[in-house]
Amino acid sequence: MAALTLYDRPDCRYSKRVRRVLDVLEVDYEEIIVPEARSDRNELDSLTGQRGVPVVVDEDHPDGWVADSSAIAEYLKANYDHRAVTTE
């Protein structure tokens, strides 16, 4: 099972940015493509109180989720970039 869930749209440039960061960091995630119409995004709204994408759901995050592609990218780099780990 994936540690993260990404709610996104394939045609959204912000979602594409988040998918690229996840792929570069080699983070396993489940992708849920939300309906095109915001009014049909009830599952996302019940989880986050919003209907915009992208959103990453992570049980390790204090709020349980992160929205906004810039905030998501920063969060992922700070918490999932294992390439930066050095050994002494």
Q: Which domains does the chain have, with CATH numbers?
A: 1-9+25-53+61-88 (3.40.30)
Q: In sequence order, which residues have a C-beta less than 8 Å from that of residue 65 and are 6 or more positions away?
A: 47, 48, 55, 56, 57, 58
pLDDT tens column, 35-73: 999 999 999 999 999 999 999 999 999 999 999 999 999
Give pLDDT, residue 43: 93
Burial (CB < 10 A; 0-12, 13-18, 19+), residue 78, is exposed
What does the alpha-carbon distance between residue 73 and residue 19 come to, in Å, rounded to a whole number? 10
Task: Report pTM.
Answer: 0.88
Is the pLDDT at 88 greater than 60? The verdict is: no
